[in-house]
Amino acid sequence: MTSTKLKMIALATMFIDHYGHFIPDSPDWMRWVGRVAAPIFIYCVVIGYKHTSNRKRYLTRLGIAAVGMSFLNLFINFHVYYSDLNRLYIEMNFFSTLFLIVFLIMLLEKKKVRFLIGLFVWQFVSFFIFGSLEVTGLLNSPMAIFTIQTSGNLLVVDGGLLMILLGILFYFAKENKWKVTISYGFYCLILFYLVRRWGWIREGLFSHLFGFFDFQWMMIFALPLLLLYNGKKGIGLKYFFYVFYPLHIAVLWYIGMVLSQ
């Protein structure tokens, strides 16, 4: 199976998941199906980084997509703010997660120790700032959400720190099927344990570390698909994925808002 086919499967399951998220009274199984989307996209972006002819351009493209998605969220959230549509803000921006994964991999590859230390320090500083804003109630606004999404903090991106670590894990697995199987299986097992122990806590630091559903363990079902990857790119369609992600979120959000009135 080519990486293009893998991404098409991830795209379809992501759409089902987000349909279940935005459209009222959707069945629970739609969210279950969506658990396989994120690991497939992460796996494909790591593969894409390894095989691209221009890694800086690859990173830049993801960065532009992340900022663009943040602006789309800002536009929609301002509409929510002024229309008071139950204040259902959009905070989805998986482009930011993918960008930070590739950025960290690039820093590790090039052994940019000073940049890694600076990024590490920034995590503490920015998270302290966001924590202070949350205590004062200033975090619940469109501009605050935009600032968070563009901050580069690993804890507050879509999926959180554990999704970033999954990308690093895939990078070091080096597309070796045995390494992918063992490392990803162990990762899902640890995630299952963490969610069972702390996953229901939705306040403070735990909400950022373990902000998953109780059924997040279902992401293990992505493993057979990852093992079917044949090392080939396929027809590409890279810009299709960059356009589809923000477009489908905007459309489903609007439909969900109309149906919930």
For the segment 94-138, what is each residue's pLDDT rounded down to a tens digit? 999 999 999 999 999 888 888 888 888 988 888 787 777 666 666
Taking residues 73-81, what's their average pLDDT? 79
Percentage of the chain surpassing pLDDT 70? Answer: 88
Taking residues 149-155, what's their average pLDDT? 82
The pLDDT confidence band at residue 170, using thresholds 50, 70 and 90, is very high
Percentage of the chain surpassing pLDDT 90? Answer: 48
Per-residue pLDDT at 202 exceeds 60: no
Per-residue pLDDT at 213 exceeds 80: no
Taking residues 233-237, what's their average pLDDT? 81
Weakest mean pLDDT among 36-45, 152-161, 222-231:
152-161
Task: Give me the amino acid identity at 258.
Answer: V
Give the pLDDT of residue 91.
81
